[in-house]
């Protein structure tokens, strides 16, 4: 069953990817040699590095890493860290990793300051399919010799811990079947939980968010809106919340309810008038370029009335701009 889920995900991914790969691709050894040439001399040829790595898919990049290590007896990831700097260094460092390893590394960094970086954990837990989340957790365990769940539990406290552990621990049903009666009853449960505001531990809302399928939650959220004339996320805005916990609940609900809309909003916020949040920008682009960035781009355009490429071109510069634009499907 898991193999079938992965096959469906791969077909969907090919349709939604934004990177372009040449019809004729050099061998991994040739790419490794070209990268070494870019590293040598008076300064790194960042454009050459981008030209190669931004236009190779995950399987091709893995072969390049292997060829580079065998030929030069050093890790490509280490060499990139020493040759690049700034946001390009961060983005490229994530990009050359295997996609599941990349998410594991990003999740680990988030657990170190989870009160601020909780959206990263929410995104990994809620935007992935059950099979994909399981693969990320397996990669995390292989790299860090600990489970993602225990690091999340160690980094968070109180209600934040309860919610995030529930989200990363689940293996949701991934089909389209919905129980209408359950949706109506749980919409009422959520209303009672939300009505109590910050005095509640939101245990029932955590249970629902942490166990139900995306389709079931969609039905429950629709019932809530039909019954109360507002969305669950807007209902969570009511009242004061000195702990900020309602924001975490809203983040999880929004990410589950409509993943494309959620990430389009993250990108819009990352390129706000007050300044560019390069970390959020590169995280979304790097993590989704080979998965579903095309759909996110379409949603961004609908919401912002401007193409994502145009927004990025306006808010970024230099080699980082060249790299990110290549990943979103526009070479500079």
Q: Is 307 annotated as a binding residue?
A: no
User: Tokens for 289?
Assistant: 């370029």
SS3 276: strand
E-only strand ranges, the chain: 271-272, 275-276
Phi-psi region of 243 (alpha: psi -120 to 50; beta: other; left: phi over 0): alpha
Q: Is 104 annotated as a binding residue?
A: no
Q: Is 234 annotated as a binding residue?
A: no
State which H helix or E strand residue 32 sits in: helix 28-39
The residue among 175, 208, 170 whose CA lies nearest residue 189 is 208
CA 19, CA 292: separation in Å to the nearest integer? Answer: 11
Number of H helices, E strands in the chain: 21, 2
Q: Is 313 annotated as a binding residue?
A: yes
Output Rg (C-alpha) for the chain, integer angstroms.
Answer: 21
Q: Is 220 annotated as a binding residue?
A: no
DSSP per-residue codes, 192-241: HHHHTGGGS--HHHHHHHHHS-HHHHHHHHHHHHHHHSS-HHHHTTSS--
User: Tokens for 157?
Assistant: 């406290």
Q: Is 275 annotated as a binding residue?
A: yes
- Convert 35-74 to b/e letters by CB count within 10 Å (16 or more is b): beebbeeeebbbeebbbbbbbbebebbbebbebbbeeeee
Task: Please name the residues in contact with 247: beta carbons below 8 A apart, sequence gap of 6 or more.
Answer: 241
Q: Is 195 annotated as a binding residue?
A: no
Q: What's the angle, vertex CA 97, arms to CA 96 and CA 100, rounded to 5?
A: 145
Q: Is 224 annotated as a binding residue?
A: no
Q: Is 139 annotated as a binding residue?
A: no
CA 106, CA 121: separation in Å to the nearest integer? Answer: 9
Q: Which residues are annotated as a binding site?
A: 39, 41, 43, 83, 273, 275, 313, 315-316
Q: Which residues are annotated as a binding site for Ca(2+)?
A: 39, 41, 43, 83, 273, 275, 313, 315-316
């Amino acid at each position: 069953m898991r193999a079938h889920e992965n096959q469906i995900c791969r077909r969907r991914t090919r349709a939604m990817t934004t990177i372009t790969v040449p019809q004729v691709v050099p061998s991994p050894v040739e790419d490794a040699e070209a990268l070494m040439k870019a590293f040598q001399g008076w300064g790194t040829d960042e454009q050459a590095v981008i030209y190669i790595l931004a236009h190779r898919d995950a399987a091709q990049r893995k072969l390049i890493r292997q060829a580079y290590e065998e030929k030069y007896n050093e890790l490509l990831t280490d060499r990139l860290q020493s040759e690049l700097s700034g946001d390009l260094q961060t983005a490229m460092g994530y990009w050359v990793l295997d996609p599941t390893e990349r998410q594991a590394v990003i999740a680990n960094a988030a657990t170190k300051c989870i009160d601020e970086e909780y959206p990263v954990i929410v995104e990994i837990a809620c935007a992935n399919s059950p099979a994909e989340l399981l693969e990320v957790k397996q990669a995390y365990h292989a790299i860090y010799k600990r489970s993602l769940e225990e690091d999340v539990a160690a980094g968070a406290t109180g209600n934040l811990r309860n919610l995030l552990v529930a989200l990363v621990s689940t293996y949701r049903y991934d089909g389209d079947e919905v129980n209408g009666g359950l949706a109506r009853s749980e919409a009422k449960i959520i209303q009672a939980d939300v009505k109590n505001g910050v005095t509640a531990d939101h245990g029932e809302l955590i249970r629902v968010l942490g166990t139900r399928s995306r389709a079931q939650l969609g039905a429950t959220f629709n019932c809530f809106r039909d019954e109360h004339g507002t969305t669950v996320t807007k209902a969570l805005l009511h009242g004061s919340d000195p702990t900020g916990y309602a924001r975490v609940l809203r983040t999880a609900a929004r990410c589950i309810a409509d993943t494309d809309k959620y990430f389009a909003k993250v990108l819009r916020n990352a390129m706000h008038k007050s300044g560019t949040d390069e970390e959020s920008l590169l995280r979304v682009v790097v993590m989704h370029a080979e998965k579903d960035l095309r759909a996110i781009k379409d949603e961004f355009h609908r919401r912002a009335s401007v193409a994502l490429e145009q927004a990025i071109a306006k808010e970024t510069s230099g080699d980082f701009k060249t790299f990110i634009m290549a990943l979103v499907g526009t070479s500079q």
